[in-house]
Amino acid sequence: MLGERLRKFRLARGMSVEDLEAAINEAVSRQPLAKYERGELQPTARVLNRIASVLGIKSAQLWGEPTCDTEVNPFLIRRWIHLLINHLVNVVDFCNYQRKRGTVS
pLDDT in tens, 73-88: 788 888 889 999 999 9
Count of CB atoms situated within 10 Å of the CB of 99: 11
Q: What residue segments make up the domains of the chain, in order of their start?
A: 2-72, 73-105
Into which CATH architecture does domain 2-72 fall? Orthogonal Bundle (1.10)
Q: What are phi and psi of 104, to 5 degrees?
A: -125, 130
Contact 14, 77 (CB under 8 A): yes
pTM of the full predicted structure? 0.58
Could you please report the per-residue DSSP string of 38-52?
HTSS---HHHHHHHH
> Is 70 a residue whose pLDDT tops 80?
no
pLDDT at 60: 87
Per the prediction, the chain carries an average pLDDT of 86
Min mean pLDDT across 3-7, 9-13, 27-31, 69-73 is at: 69-73
> Is 66 a residue whose pLDDT tops 60?
no
65 Cβ partners below 8 Å, 6+ apart? 5
